[in-house]
Chain A
């Protein structure tokens, strides 16, 4: 796997689903996402790849959140696949029911549950863990934009430490989201011993597509966690979504790896590791760490997290990808 974005169009093998004239457009144009929305881009790429790999036999259960709201407001619907929304915290259970019903009817339909980080790491964590533990035949995709964006940028358990959100405002006492907090759901998924877990980024669409395509046809519970920058919530120009996603990967803040049956089996090495500060400076949610009241210790704390990721997931050329 390389870090190329779209894939070399001259090489059929390296073509991404997105670059193909025949792409399925599962999430069609005309929806209501913000300009530059990382989640919309990731959802389109992921579901197109799943559709392609499962030969069109997919059904989606969507948790409440931005993705649900911007894609499906009656009487409009941007989805070209069977899709349902039930509640905020129950998408994994609903998907379990859909998958079981497909199986009992002898239908070969691959089932995807999807939601943002709030639905996944917070309110739906119990139902997600239940779905994992039973090894239900569901691919769960988390689009992680690291806060409750749909309600106006409140902190979730996926919000990075020291980031500004509407409920972790920096002031003279606090420097954004508190240190020592947060939840690593890909690792929690791995701890369930499910057949497949992966992280992906919209900065690396080919890699994202390959992981989703691999996951969708594996029998049992699968989890793909995709890092999706949010221009509104993170505070950056709408043209820079991919650039910021790439910066997160290249500094080690968002490691790309795969795990099978409870063990990490591969990671995507970073060609040139960049300092965390380059990633942070692109976003207003970390602006309080720089400038007049600069907080170099805070930047150092974030650098430590990124460096620990690089070591843990062997991102500087340790393990070769499987």
Chain B
């Protein structure tokens, strides 16, 4: 059924359709409206048989979900930015314990300097934590990915983080198609825990693992993530069969058949890029777009296959690793190694800086793609503020 909804409210309703039994809530912008929405649904009994717990920190939010999932029930929480860092220890713990929690990450920059607006630095800070990470391109996809996320998590025995761009998606009113409860119930079976604190069959969860076994545990976690790639793809296909629209899967390919230059990106900015690409292609360019839905597990082979005919790849991302450069850029380079494709890095939209069609057009007009480019960087501010380190004692060899 079609609704005109704020992204956060749409996500809240989608989560409620998945019938979580525990929702842990702690406010942080821009995720807050999601847990507010779920609170309202629980209090009005529209979401029944669900405990809604107001906790005192993000560390507690994810820890409560760890406890409830370990005790055998479907559990959900949401966070952003600083909140994700505050719960970081529990993020690694949840995946290590193989608990299929679903968490929304309303993507936001990380301070200092404090900044509440959108970029992907928060998500990138947990890319190695063992969670499955899915990026939504639109509010509709945010809704659909949450419904898929519970299914993927429970199949893969691994927590799933659904990344939804803060403000750009969470606070935008758009038309979304919300499925009925019956449809979701048919798509998503009841949760059957694979481990649980059971008084009839007492087991220990989360024991210390010594050097004799630790490598194997980590290896198996990696192997399981790789094995999850076909699960993510298959759940996307099942979703399309059931609900009639393509949402999720590993990648979204746009105009790749004819493209010589492909822009690779993640999240909501793909829309702006596609519009710009349409314009430029109408004037003779040969551009395509590849947007990555499943960032973890990273679909290396699928990306290689999708980009194998490109002459040039531009990775546009909303985060970077200070001291080295683009993060997704490095991973795409790994996926494309030995193919001889030129790969350029564009860092854009940090801390909520708007990424406009004009900026993207200008980037293509400049045509010097050899270095890492910070899109829309204010050179005058850099010239004014940059202070080289006084380093007369050491020869600068780097």
A residues with a Cβ closer than 8 A to B are: 56-59, 61, 68-69, 72-75, 77, 79-87, 89-90, 93-105, 109, 126-127, 129-130, 133-134
Q: Which residue of A lies closest to B61 (CB)?
A: A93
- Does B82 make an interface contact (CB < 8 A)? no
Residues of B within 8 A of A105 (CB): 21, 71-73
* Contact A84 B206, beta carbon cutoff 8 Å: yes
Q: Given the complex, which residues of A lie within 8 Å of B66, measured CB to CB?
A: 86, 90, 94, 97
Contact at A87–B203, with CB atoms within 8 Å? no
Task: Tell which of B53, B63, B69, B71 touches A102, judged by Cβ atoms closer than 8 Å.
Answer: B71
Q: Does B234 count as interface, using CB distance less than 8 angstroms?
A: no
A87 touches B63 (CB 8 A): yes
Inter-subunit contact A130/B73 (CB<8 Å): no
Q: In the complex, which residues of chain A have a beta carbon less than 8 angstroms from the beta carbon of B75?
A: 97, 101
The answer, yes or no, to whether B324 is at the interface (CB within 8 Å) is no
Give the residues in chain B near A82, CB-CB below 8 Å: 197-199, 202-203
Determine whether the beta carbon of A90 is less than 8 Å from that of B59: yes
- Known contacts being A85-B206, A98-B68, A101-B71, is A109 close to B56, with CB within 8 Å? no
Return the contact of A73 from the options B93, B203, B208 (Cβ within 8 A): B208
A-B contacts, 12 listed (Cβ < 8 Å): A80-B202, A85-B205, A85-B206, A86-B63, A90-B60, A93-B60, A93-B64, A96-B63, A98-B197, A100-B67, A101-B51, A102-B71
Known: A73-B207, A73-B210. A56 touches B199 (CB 8 A): yes
- Specify which chain A residues have a CB less than 8 angstroms from the CB of B93 in the assembled complex: 86-87
Point out the residues of chain B lying under 8 angstroms from A103, CB to CB: 51
Q: Is the CB of A94 within 8 A of B64?
A: yes
In residues 47-64 of chain B, which contact A (Cβ within 8 Å)? 49-51, 53-57, 59-60, 63-64
Most buried by B among A56, A97, A133: A97
In-complex Cβ contact of B208 among A74, A80, A129, A133 (8 A) = A74
Chain B: minimal CB distance from A202 (Å): 24
Report the Cα distance A94→B55, complex, angstroms: 11
- Does residue B70 face the partner (Cβ distance < 8 Å to A)? yes
Asked if A126 meets B57 with Cβ closer than 8 Å, knowing A72-B204, A104-B73, the reply is yes
Give complex CA distance A84, B94 in Å: 12
Chain B residues in the interface with A (C-beta under 8 A): 21-22, 24, 49-51, 53-57, 59-60, 63-73, 75, 89-90, 93, 97, 197-199, 202-210, 213
* Given A57-B199, A74-B210, A93-B64, A84 and B205 contact (CB-CB distance below 8 Å): yes
Q: State which of B22, B199, B209 has its C-beta within 8 Å of the C-beta of A104.
A: B22
Using A74-B207, A86-B206, A126-B57 as known contacts, say yes or no to A100 and B22 having CB atoms under 8 A apart: yes
Question: A83 and B21: CB pair below 8 A?
Answer: no
A109 to B196, CA, bound (A): 13
Bound state CA distance, A127 and B8, in angstroms?
A: 27
Judge whether A90 and B90 touch: CB under 8 Å: yes
**Given the complex, which residues of A lie within 8 Å of B50, measured CB to CB?**
104
Instruction: Determine the distance from Cα of A161 to Cα of B287 in the docked complex, in whole angstroms.
Output: 71
- Chain B residues near A95: list those with CB within 8 A: 67
Contacts A90-B90, A97-B66, A104-B50 given; indicate if A59 touches B197 (C-beta within 8 A). Answer: yes
| A97 and B64 contact, CB distance less than 8 A | yes
Using Cβ atoms and an 8 Å threshold, which residues of chain B touch A74?
Answer: 207-210, 213
Most buried by A among B59, B69, B209: B59
Report how far A83 CA is from B67 CA in the complex, Å: 11
| Contact present for A129 and B197 (CB under 8 Å) | no
Contact across chains for B205 and A83 when beta carbons are under 8 A apart: yes
Q: Which chain B residues border A104 with CB–CB below 8 Å?
A: 21-22, 49-51, 73
Instruction: Report whether B208 and A68 are in contact in the complex, using a CB–CB cutoff of 8 Å.
Output: yes
Interfacial chain B residues near A133, Cβ < 8 Å: 56
Cα A123 to Cα B111 in complex, Å, equals 23
Give A97 to B59 CA distance when docked, in angstroms.
Answer: 13
CA distance A105 to B71 in the complex (A): 9
Contacts of B206 in A (CB 8 A): 84-86
- Can you name the residue of chain B whose Cβ is closest to the Cβ of A78? B204
Give complex CA distance A43, B88 in Å: 30
Cross-interface CB contact of B207 among A57, A77, A90, A94, cutoff 8 Å: A77
Choose among B50, B57, B198, B208 the residue with the greatest number of A CB atoms under 10 Å from its CB. B208
Contacts of A134 in B (CB 8 A): 53-54
CB-based contact A97/B71 at 8 Å: yes
Which of B199, B202, B203, B209 is packed against the most chain A CB atoms within 10 Å? Answer: B199
